[in-house]
Structure 1
Amino acid sequence: MISKNILNADLHCHSVVSDGTMTPEALAERAKTNGVELWALTDHDETGGQHRAAAAAKAQGLNYLTGTEISVTFANETVHIVGLGFDPDDAAMKRGLYDTRGGRGQRAMEMSDGLAKVGIKGAYEGALKFVGNPELISRTHFARFLVESGVCRETSEVFRKYLTEGKPGYVPHRWANLRDAVQWITSAKGVAVIAHPGRYKFTPNEEYALFTEFKAHGGQGVEVVTGSHTTQEYVKYAETAKEFGLAASRGSDFHSPDESHTDLGTLPFLPGDLTPVWALLEDRIQ
């Protein structure tokens, strides 16, 4: 039994299998060193690192939940849905994630073309140097190339100047829909969680619609304490969790020691009056 709220659980981070810079094995070691008691690797639209992560966690004596982070389009905004505790070999989920990844290559070429028009040549080839999995080339890989080549000082500056809507390297992508993402997770015996809801630029009505539809499709959790939430957002989404009857999750969204503002295992604990998401998944903890 580890359903207590005062638990150093970190259920959101990324490895080289998607857009992180560390291997699953190195992340497991870092999590253990930082006092994490329950860990999940949640690579974007990919489960290819799950068996490695589970084995590495076991070697570290670290409790583990399978994870992924699925990109969906909702109200013309990209929203991320974290899946936890699912069967990583589930055929329907693997097929759905494969299809979701499929558009990234063409999108990356279009991003490179947009950057070339403002004098930044060879961005696609440059981004590929930072890619562990070519199927998952993303804006983050382009950002690392632009920092390496001296165009910007840090990745956040790249996003601000080149890779957000209205900027030269921005290309939208049509991801999975919310219903499919939630159902892939739940059909594979996992729990679906809305990732870092404070990041989305929704009106109050749009946000209410997101939570309402998410729950109607079988979603059961929301990230309350995350690396991109403010203290005020911890409070806001704790109340949202209670309003919608959702379990609360906690995760740093760690990508890299050089880029991430929040390290693995360094977040505040969940508020005590919430149901932790791991309480729904005790039989799936490895």
Structure 2
Amino acid sequence: MAVHMFNADLHCHSSVSDGTLTPEQVAERARRNGVDLWALTDHDEVGGQARARAAAAANGMGYLTGTEISVTFINQTVHIVGLGFDADDLALVQGLAHTRGGRERRARDMAAGLERAGIGGAYEGALKFVGNPDLISRTHFARYLVEAGICNDTHEVFRRYLTEGKPGYVEHRWATLSDALSWITGAGGIAVIAHPGRYAFTPNEEFALFTEFKALGGQGVEVVTGSHTPAEYLEYAGMAQEFDLLASRGSDFHDPAESHTDLGTLPGLPGHLKPVWEALEHRIHQP
């Protein structure tokens, strides 16, 4: 099949992290939208991988194991997607568990900040939206504030309460870039920089990210993703070529109502790039 006709969606989330659909529901939605190859990439978690692999097979799709790891780089949170790894690898599983460990303390501090702003009960309210309590996040608080009528949608919540300088924002120190890449590559997978257009780096800082990522064994970058503009598709296609990186594609789907981009609906990769899934052909679980 020609590359540009191949519908791979290698970045999305389920209720195992901060999505609202189960892995099985995400798989079914992907199939309905024509996805040929799917990866579930829940945040700092591989607990949904067995279910996702079975659901992909039931829906006739190829499957790659996946996760999205939060790392701190130059005082910013950057996300690294891992694809095609052994989901039972002990160092990976233990590393992700350690990364998840700081989320509860952060969530309680976020709730305290919101309470000082006159919004009580936010921690308990957010928990109602959490499928996995270890992975409570800003998204869960945002859903509660919408339910409580404080904001009209989750985007308004982030803008008013959950970004830097706002009452409910609490910085969290994640894994290092070196940690994330060692876990992914040590488990036989390929590391991919997720949605690089989202980070507020200067050009020099972005160059430093790509340079260090490549030096640590990183092999891919998301070029076509739900949070990139068409201009950024071209920009990061250029970065993929400059750093000799494989190109990935993923919607970053979380929820039918919240997500800008549905599973499987993005344009294809520019034809001159090397798709990450070709390098992972031997790791694809066939239906």
TM-score bucket (shorter structure)? over 0.9
Post-superposition shift, 1:95? 0.3
- Distance, in Å, in 1 between the alignment partners of 2:246 and 2:2 is 11
Post-superposition shift, 1:47? 0.1
Task: Specify whether residues 6 and 64 from structure 1 end up closer, same or farther in structure 2 by C-alpha distance, changes over 3 A only.
Answer: same
Deviations 1:81-118 (A, max 9, x none): 00000000000000000000000000000000000001
Deviations 1:49-106 (A, max 9, x none): 0000000000111110000000000000000000000000000000000000000000
Deviations 1:123-164 (A, max 9, x none): 000000000000000000000000000000000110010000
Alignment match, 1:130? 129
Amino acid in structure 2 at the alignment position of 1:190: G
Alignment match, 1:280? 279
Post-superposition shift, 1:5? 4.0
- Distance, in Å, in 2 between the alignment partners of 1:108 and 1:79 is 19
- Distance, in Å, in 2 between the alignment partners of 1:36 and 1:57 is 10
- Distance, in Å, in 1 between the alignment partners of 2:3 and 2:82 is 20
In structure 2, runs of 5+ residues without a counterpart are none
Alignment match, 1:142? 141
SS in 2 for 1:181: helix
In structure 1, runs of 5+ residues without a counterpart are none
Deviations 1:149-203 (A, max 9, x none): 0000000110010000000000000000001101100010000000000000000
Amino acid in structure 2 at the alignment position of 1:145: Y
Q: Are the equivalent residues in 2 in contact too, given 1:19–1:255 (CA < 8 A)?
A: yes
- Distance, in Å, in 2 between the alignment partners of 1:153 and 1:93 is 38
Alignment match, 2:56? 57
1:226 aligns with 2:225: yes
Task: Specify whether residues 3 and 92 from structure 1 end up closer, same or farther in structure 2 by C-alpha distance, changes over 3 A only.
Answer: farther
- Distance, in Å, in 1 between the alignment partners of 2:159 and 2:59 is 38
- Distance, in Å, in 2 between the alignment partners of 1:207 and 1:6 is 31
TM-score, scaled relative to structure 1:
0.99
Q: Percent of counterpart pairs with the same letter?
A: 73
Q: How many residues align?
A: 285
- Distance, in Å, in 1 between the alignment partners of 2:40 and 2:182 is 20
Moved over 4 A (4+): none
Alignment match, 1:70? 69
Alignment match, 1:89? 88
Task: Specify whether residues 227 and 166 from structure 1 end up closer, same or farther in structure 2 by C-alpha distance, changes over 3 A only.
Answer: same
Alignment match, 1:37? 36
Post-superposition shift, 1:3? 7.9
- Distance, in Å, in 2 between the alignment partners of 1:161 and 1:4 is 42
- Distance, in Å, in 1 between the alignment partners of 2:250 and 2:213 is 20
Alignment match, 2:24? 25
- Distance, in Å, in 1 between the alignment partners of 2:22 and 2:169 is 28
Alignment match, 2:257? 258
Q: What do you get for the CA RMSD once the two structures are aligned?
A: 0.7
Deviations 1:197-245 (A, max 9, x none): 0000000000000000000000000000000000100000000000000
Alignment match, 2:6? 7
- Distance, in Å, in 2 between the alignment partners of 1:269 and 1:49 is 27
1:211 aligns with 2:210: yes
SS in 1 for 2:5: coil
Alignment match, 2:159? 160
TM-score, scaled relative to structure 2:
0.98
